[in-house]
Structure 1
Amino acid sequence: MSVEISEILQRAADGGRISPEEALLLYTEAPFHALGEAADTVRRRRFPEGIVTYLIDRNINYTNVCVTACKFCAFYRAPKHAEGWTHDTAEILRRCEEAVQLGATQVMLQGGHHPDFGVEYYEELFGAVSSNFPQLVIHSIGPSEVLHMAKVSGVSLDEAIRRINAAGLASIAGAGAEMLPDRPRKAIAPLKESGARWLEVMGIAHRQGIESTATMMMGTGETNAERIEHMTMIRDLQDETGGFRSFIPWTYQPENNHLKGRTQATTLEYLRLIAVARLFFDNINHLQSSWLTTGKDAGQVSLHMGVDDLGSIMLEENVISSAGAKHRSNLHDLVWMIRSADRIPAQRDTLYRHLNVHWTPADDPTDERVTSHFSSITNVGRQLPVLS
């Protein structure tokens, strides 16, 4: 290991800021174990009790009709397509009720950019969910949906965000980030807003007091430098607003979409990116790995690369699953992944507050009904298998 890399790793492990150029050097050249050790040092300093969190939630898609036609997406259908669908409010509320029965504390409502859905649609949707299930935090949509609804309704972004927040939206998802730099973004989603506009929406929300998450999809042909550029764009906004709770990178899934798997990120690339992210984001508290797209083995290894959160037992998920993500889990497995990595599992809420810390194996949950990921695309009106 070179003296330069060693000095950068030590500075980052001690909590110092590293530049994008230094992050790229670590990502491409730092020895794997030294990189992981430095990242884990940061994690231990931030979370000295060794707690790794998880969430129970449900991702409910209200429509698959979309005008954006992203090349990596296997979920959407164009307007008037025979396979297009939209769930009514009663169906969405039924799914919320199932989620509550299984201990969910959060619901993620997401869908395509339906040509008819403006701010009024989301006000009604969020209002219905929040009034019927006040115990569910609505962590939903993303900047792309905000831009679309504001355009349909002919209102400003500031007004659109204020109105849906008043209706019940408590937190904005990092959805739609994909790759923020211009070149890779135009290549995979030419009809979607620019990365700068994505960040603009997040900034407006943060300044209104609405926090969000930040994501990154890797493996669609972007360069290593563009991956670091993506993270730099997020860190720069975080310096201004402080509104991102966590960073969540995930890997492109290759089935049933126009990219057809021509490029994909390897597990090693993903784990190195996770570690660099923990060193790079000195201003974002939490780092979540995506076992859904990388598998449970990689998810567990990520806990030694700076990760403090394993995401959710997502009771329902359709978008990434449509593109081939086949990894499944249940509450017992997720807790075991954390504990066998010598960490202490804890159920959290949307704001990362601990709801139930499983200090010893005797404290571990035993509810076998809580499992992921039921697909609803062909099961409209059906109950979750555990409740039928």
Structure 2
Amino acid sequence: MTTHADSDRLRLIRTKVEANQRLSFEDGLYLHNHADLFTLGELANIVRERKNGNVTYYNVNEHLNPTNVCVYRCSFCAFRSDLKGPRAYVMSDEQILERAREATERGCTELHVVGGLHHQKPYEWYLNIIRIIHENFPRLHLKGYTAVEWDWFHRLTGRPTRDILAEFKSVGLGSLPGGGAEIFHPDVRSKICEYKASADDWLRIHQEAHELGLRSNATMLYGHIESPEHRVDHLIRLRELQDRTGGFQTFIPLAFHPDNTRLNHIQKPSGMTDLRVMALSRLMLDNFDHVKAYWIMLGIQTAQVAQSYGADDLDGTVVHEKIYHDAGSDSPQEMTVAEIRRLIEEAGRVPMERDTLYHEVVRGEGPNQWQIGRKLQLATI
């Protein structure tokens, strides 16, 4: 039952949202724990439409996971394999270039490159992946490697991550994905991924990328052992870095999939939780232009509804995604452009194809006949 005090608190938060004022940690925690889902969605939609009007973005992309061999053994990961495990694989240069060729022939504007940290592969192997793709398929935007991978490259070489980022940029890296953030709070991070890059390292690496002119995304993995306080803390840390650099493009809340992980006793988040976290993210991250409903993790139906709970982006066609499907995602391996546009239109939104850096993509007759158009401007309503 809603008390008079609850109504007053929610009224004050609504006033802040409508006036485009920043919400506090306490506001975020109150919304997470006490606001009914429909009110939360209504408030998030105010921000969503203020920033992006009635448009929902998508892109035409593919994923490339060059290896699943990984030195780390994070408890939430179903993708990794030991070096001699039955599922272990390493892609050759020829296989990598064939994947890039396939993406190009499909009309992709982006190749998303992340994978395991193969302890027997030298730094140059990772660098060469970006170099050979860019040399052979220069139109593909290469969004590559999480902060955890950049930290690994530092450990391999002893070089500063800023120098490594600059070298990758010089051979064709276009931007960074947001993976590896998980949950920043040490009470959680020390339990689910204690050996890999710390929260401070993750934030520092993204700051360095921004200072080098590389844009990046940000994520939060929710629905495992974290509490609402940890979620709100994570969002505020991202917001603080965005205040300093302005380099984040999109935030993607990632629903934990427990199958085939060491946390398989945990029930996967419900659709109601997914929508609550989506809306809360949109409300707390007032300085992020975009919030993405990643249909691979949410499922198609929840991602479609999320467009009314703060999300203005559905990611893209994806293709060859392995990390979350290994963890039990039952979403399709890919969606066609026609299917994505239908999901957007059924939600009452206007579909808009974008490239990685949020420029309009103008299509011709064939899949390879496309051009980058205007920078997509935010709504001013």
1:105 maps to which residue?
Answer: 109
TM-score normalised to structure 2 length: 0.91
Do residues 74 (structure 1) and 78 (structure 2) align?
Answer: yes
Q: Is the Cα–Cα contact under 8 Å of residues 212 and 245 in structure 1 kept in the other structure?
A: yes
2:292 maps to which residue?
Answer: 288
Q: Secondary structure at the match of 1:345?
A: strand
1:370 maps to which residue?
Answer: none
Q: Deviations over 1:155-202 (max 9, x none)?
A: 111111111111111101101111111111111112212111111111
Do residues 122 (structure 1) and 112 (structure 2) align?
Answer: no
Q: Where do residues 250-261 of structure 1 align in structure 2 (5 Å cutoff)?
A: 250-261=254-265
Measure how far apart 1:71 and its partner are. Answer: 1.0
Q: Secondary structure at the match of 1:179?
A: coil
- 1:273 is matched by which residue type in structure 2? V
Distance 1:118 1:12 in 2: 49
Alignment equivalent of 1:157, drawn from 145, 155, 161? 161
Distance 1:83 1:316 in 2: 16
Distance 1:115 1:189 in 2: 17
Distance 2:254 2:126 in 1: 27
Q: Is the Cα–Cα contact under 8 Å of residues 137 and 350 in structure 1 kept in the other structure?
A: yes
Measure how far apart 1:118 and its partner are. Answer: 4.1
Distance 2:320 2:136 in 1: 20
Q: Secondary structure at the match of 2:60?
A: strand
Measure how far apart 1:356 and its partner are. Answer: 4.4
Measure how far apart 1:264 and its partner are. Answer: 2.9
Distance 2:232 2:305 in 1: 22
Q: Is the Cα–Cα contact under 8 Å of residues 218 and 264 in structure 1 kept in the other structure?
A: no
- 1:63 is matched by which residue type in structure 2? T
Mean alpha-carbon deviation: is it higher for 27-36 or for 97-106? 27-36
Do residues 244 (structure 1) and 248 (structure 2) align?
Answer: yes
1:339 maps to which residue?
Answer: 345
Distance 1:255 1:32 in 2: 27
Q: Is the Cα–Cα contact under 8 Å of residues 181 and 195 in structure 1 kept in the other structure?
A: yes
Measure how far apart 1:330 and its partner are. Answer: 3.0
Distance 1:83 1:310 in 2: 30
- 2:338 is matched by which residue type in structure 1? H
Distance 2:39 2:84 in 1: 53
Q: Flag the 1:115–1:149 CA change in 2: closer, same or farther, 3 A.
A: same
Measure how far apart 1:285 and its partner are. Answer: 0.3
Measure how far apart 1:10 and its partner are. Answer: 2.5
Distance 2:62 2:136 in 1: 16
1:30 maps to which residue?
Answer: 35
Q: Where do residues 135-154 of structure 1 align in structure 2 (5 Å cutoff)?
A: 135-154=139-158
Q: Flag the 1:83–1:37 CA change in 2: closer, same or farther, 3 A.
A: closer
Distance 1:266 1:351 in 2: 31
Q: Secondary structure at the match of 1:248?
A: strand
Measure how far apart 1:117 and its partner are. Answer: 3.3
Measure how far apart 1:38 and its partner are. Answer: 1.4
1:43 maps to which residue?
Answer: 48
Distance 1:122 1:195 in 2: 23
2:64 maps to which residue?
Answer: 60
Q: Deviations over 1:56-96 (max 9, x none)?
A: 11111111110111111111112333432211111111011
1:270 maps to which residue?
Answer: 274
Q: Flag the 1:82–1:36 CA change in 2: closer, same or farther, 3 A.
A: closer
Q: Deviations over 1:191-217 (max 9, x none)?
A: 212111111111111111111000111
Distance 1:301 1:356 in 2: 27
- 2:307 is matched by which residue type in structure 1? L
2:236 maps to which residue?
Answer: 232
Q: Secondary structure at the match of 1:319?
A: coil
- 2:344 is matched by which residue type in structure 1? I
2:373 maps to which residue?
Answer: none
Q: Secondary structure at the match of 1:213?
A: strand
Q: Is the Cα–Cα contact under 8 Å of residues 119 and 164 in structure 1 kept in the other structure?
A: no
Distance 2:26 2:62 in 1: 38
Q: Is the Cα–Cα contact under 8 Å of residues 13 and 39 in structure 1 kept in the other structure?
A: no
Distance 1:317 1:114 in 2: 19
Distance 1:127 1:62 in 2: 14
Q: Secondary structure at the match of 2:138?
A: coil
Mean alpha-carbon deviation: is it higher for 34-43 or for 59-68? 34-43
Q: Where do residues 1-20 of structure 1 align in structure 2 (5 Å cutoff)?
A: 2-20=7-25
Q: Secondary structure at the match of 1:320?
A: coil
- 1:7 is matched by which residue type in structure 2? L
| Structure 1 residue ranges without an equivalent (≥5) | 358-362, 368-388
- 1:25 is matched by which residue type in structure 2? Y
Q: Flag the 1:366–1:166 CA change in 2: closer, same or farther, 3 A.
A: closer
Measure how far apart 1:331 and its partner are. Answer: 2.4
Aligned residues: 360
Cα RMSD between the aligned structures?
A: 1.8
Q: Secondary structure at the match of 1:85?
A: coil
Alignment equivalent of 1:212, drawn from 216, 224, 238? 216
Measure how far apart 1:51 and its partner are. Answer: 1.1
